[in-house]
Amino acid sequence: MKAWLLLPLLLLLALAAQAAEPDARRSGRDTMSGALRTLQADDAQHPAQLALALGQELWAQGAKSCASCHGEPATLRGAAARYPASDQGLIDLPGRIQRCRVRHQQQPAWAPESEPLLALSALVAQQSRGLPLAPPRGAELDAAAARGQRLYTTRIGALNLSCAQCHDERAGLRLGGSLIPQAQVDDYPVYRLEWQSLGSLQRRLRGCLSGVRAKVWDWDSAELLALEVYLARRSTGMAMQPPGVRP
Amino acid sequence: MATRAVITLPVAIKAGEPFEVRATVAHAMETGYRSGDDGARLARDLVRRFECRLDGELVFAADLFAAISANPYLSFWLRANKPAELSFSWRGDNGFSHDETRRLNVA
Amino acid sequence: MKRREFVLAAAALAALPEARATDDALRAAIRAWAGRDPEAGALKIEIAELVENGNAVPVRIAASEPVSGLALFTPLNPEPEVVHASFGAAVARPEFSTRMRLARSQRIVAVARAADGRCWQAGMDVIVTLAACVEP
């Protein structure tokens, strides 16, 4: 074979091999029961509908309302898909909403996981429904993703477990009666039935940390943000369907 | 925080045809069996009664108990022959009280 | 898989310090609402057979004829009553849906009451899996 044919041929083969390999990633949605999938898919009975209605209200509230800069919530379609970001430090979607509130609305920041913050997170995230998760890249984010991956694969806590041991190695198996999900982050914020409320990814991570009896990192800590960056990359390309419902 | 209930109705209703009504009210439905962060028992605090009236006449009512989930959700089917007003009321412990009304667009 | 989960769920009895509704309490609650002990009869109970979380379980109860009321009861929650629904003339279908709490695997009981005083009941077994990691 002519030498100059080899390289394009190899490229073609590599592309073909990549295309042939199926995406083994499954959203937590797909491993839930039909009843819970219906709860998430039907806006008229979604458990987060009250929060979304509150979000709509808050969006338009006040002299310097979100609406006064952004117009309709739909103008933010695509925004939630591009978090976490790097902008004067690492920032996730709730963090961005808080920053807007403090800097542009001159209001005091909300407490973490407060009802209005979750309501607006749900409203903004909902605008990106159906879009693929597309977190940005760059030097700071790449470094954070590497840190996040190290945290993800390190054993922690009195139970001495790493995230990877459950969510990579044992996803699809059962812990007690519960199915272990892959821990994709496509549907946040989620209405978790266990919480009886909406909650952020950081809340879920903190819950896991206490579940393995590890030190629970603070809200917006470097560790939690690094994990969020890594997890968003791990779920890159998956279609978002926020707000989610999970058991 | 003013959003206290969400009601879902069809946009257009045909006279005499069944239509689904879905109503959710914001309420923790505290059972009285849970403990707070400080270990103290959280007192029972429930929505007790839901009523739906069509032009003032009671058409659907429910007595709710602790086994109803937080943010109580109810769905039921009604029939209307002409444009009418649907009113919804929730009453519960500690003076909980919430009302909503909706015009029915019946053709 | 279902049997194993049932055994796990049954074995891992949630430590509820409160009294559980006994069969007597269940019968008394049904009698209080229906006016008597209902006979067995046809009622549709739509609920997932295997529930991932007992905090919010969608359930639909439907009768096949007009009723004046439908009610739902649980034998193994702390209390037997869940909801009592009553229907007026403008109700188009003898059914309603809600979301209920289930403390553990059990056989939920739906009861119907007709305008002429007849009442009947039906049951449905539901398996509730308990959360593996419970947050503080």
Number of domains in chain B: 1
The shortest C-alpha distance from B77 to chain C (Å) reads 5
CA distances from A242 to A188, A189, B36, C23 (A): 6, 6, 29, 42
What distance in Å separates the CA atoms of residue C49 and residue C61, rounded to the nearest whole number? 14
Q: Which of A46, A49, A50, A195 should one mutate to test binding to chain B, selecting the residue with the greatest count of B CBs within 10 A?
A: A50
The single-letter DSSP state of residue C128 is: E
Q: Is residue A201's pLDDT more than 50?
A: yes
Q: Is residue A241's pLDDT more than 80?
A: yes
Contacts of B76 in chain C (CB under 8 A): 85, 87, 91, 93, 95-97
CA distances from C25 to A97, C29, C84 (A): 51, 6, 16
Contacts of C86 in chain B (CB under 8 A): 60-62
What distance in Å separates the CA atoms of residue A61 and residue B14, rounded to the nearest whole number? 36
Predicted pLDDT of residue C16: 45
Residue in chain C nearest A212 by alpha carbon = C133
At C28-56, the pLDDT tens digits run: 999 999 999 999 999 999 999 999 999 99
The shortest C-alpha distance from A148 to chain B (Å) reads 30
For residue B52, give its domain range. 5-34+42-104
Instruction: Please name which of C15, C21, C18, C13 lies closest in space to residue C79, comparing C-alpha atoms.
Output: C21
Give this prediction's pTM: 0.87
Q: Is residue C7's pLDDT more than 60?
A: no
ipTM value for the complex: 0.94
If one counts every other C-beta atom within 10 angstroms of the C-beta of residue B19, the result is 16
Instruction: Please name which of A50, A168, A106, A61 lies closest in space to residue B98, comparing C-alpha atoms.
Output: A50
Whether A116 and B1 lie within 8 Å, measured CB to CB: yes
Q: Please, what are the averages of pLDDT over each run of 10 residues along chain B (107 residues)?
A: 84 95 96 87 96 97 97 97 97 97 94
Average pLDDT over residues A132-136: 98
At A161-173, the pLDDT tens digits run: 999 999 999 999 9
Structure tokens at B50: 């839901």
Q: How confident is the model at residue C11 (pLDDT cuts 50, 70, 90)?
A: very low
Q: Could you tell me what percent of chain A has a pLDDT over 70?
A: 93
Q: What is the DSSP string of C10-60?
A: HHS-----SPPP-HHHHHHHHHHHHSSPPEE---EEEE-SEES-TTSEEEE
Whether B8 and A44 lie within 8 Å, measured CB to CB: yes
| Phi, psi values for residue A35, rounded to 5° | -60, -40
Residue in chain A nearest C53 by alpha carbon = A247
If one counts every other C-beta atom within 10 angstroms of the C-beta of residue C42, the result is 11
Q: Does B26 touch chain A (CB under 8 A)?
A: yes
Q: Is residue A238's pLDDT more than 60?
A: yes
Whether A33 and C55 lie within 8 Å, measured CB to CB: no
* Those residues with Cβ within 8 angstroms of residue A42's Cβ, 6 or more apart along the chain or in another chain: none
What distance in Å separates the CA atoms of residue B52 and residue A108, rounded to the nearest whole number? 40
Query: Which of A32, A45, A194 is facing C55, going by the closest CB pair?
Result: A194
The shortest C-alpha distance from C24 to chain B (Å) reads 18
> B11 or C16, which is more confident?
B11
Q: Is residue A18's pLDDT more than 60?
A: no
* Residue extents of the structural domains in chain C: 2-128
Q: Do A37 and A246 touch, CB atoms closer than 8 A? A: no
Q: Does B16 touch chain C (CB under 8 A)?
A: no
CA distances from A244 to A40, A73, C121 (A): 6, 18, 36
Q: Is residue C90's pLDDT more than 70?
A: yes
CATH topology of domain A29-247: Cytochrome Bc1 Complex; Chain D, domain 2 (1.10.760)
**Pairs of CB atoms within 8 A across A/B:** 29
Average pLDDT over residues C67-94: 96
Class of C2-128 in CATH: mainly beta
Whether A196 and B28 lie within 8 Å, measured CB to CB: yes
Residues in chain A: 247
- Bridge partner list, B78: B19, C91
The shortest C-alpha distance from C27 to chain A (Å) reads 29
Q: Does A175 touch chain C (CB under 8 A)?
A: yes
What distance in Å separates the CA atoms of residue B49 and residue B62, rounded to the nearest whole number? 6
Structure tokens at A243: 């707000």
What distance in Å separates the CA atoms of residue A161 and residue A212, rounded to the nearest whole number? 7
Taking any CB pair shorter than 8 Å as contact, residues of chain C touching chain B are: 16, 18, 55-57, 74, 77-79, 81-93, 95-102, 136
CATH number at residue B99: 2.60.40.10
Q: Is residue C123's pLDDT more than 70?
A: yes
Q: Is residue C12's pLDDT more than 70?
A: no
What distance in Å separates the CA atoms of residue A82 and residue A85, rounded to the nearest whole number? 7
The shortest C-alpha distance from A56 to chain B (Å) reads 9
What distance in Å separates the CA atoms of residue C63 and residue C65, rounded to the nearest whole number? 6
B76, amino acid identity: F
Query: Which of B8, B24, B69 is facing A50, going by the closest CB pair?
Result: B24
The shortest C-alpha distance from C133 to chain A (Å) reads 5
Contacts of C85 in chain B (CB under 8 A): 60-62, 76
What distance in Å separates the CA atoms of residue B37 and residue C96, rounded to the nearest whole number? 36
Contacts of C52 in chain A (CB under 8 A): 32-33, 36, 178-179, 193, 247
The shortest C-alpha distance from B1 to chain C (Å) reads 24
Q: Is residue C15's pLDDT more than 90?
A: no
Average pLDDT over residues A198-218: 95
Q: Does A172 touch chain C (CB under 8 A)?
A: no
Instruction: Please name which of A204, A102, A32 lies closest in space to residue C135, comparing C-alpha atoms.
Output: A204
Whether A45 and B3 lie within 8 Å, measured CB to CB: no
Predicted pLDDT of residue C13: 45
Average pLDDT over residues A219-247: 97
* Those residues with Cβ within 8 angstroms of residue A227's Cβ, 6 or more apart along the chain or in another chain: A148, A151, A152, A163, A205
Among the residue ranges A127-131, A173-177, C44-48, C94-98, the one predicted with the least confidence is A173-177
If one counts every other C-beta atom within 10 angstroms of the C-beta of residue B107, the result is 8
A94-A99-A104-A110 Cα dihedral, nearest 10 degrees: 70
Average pLDDT over residues C117-126: 96
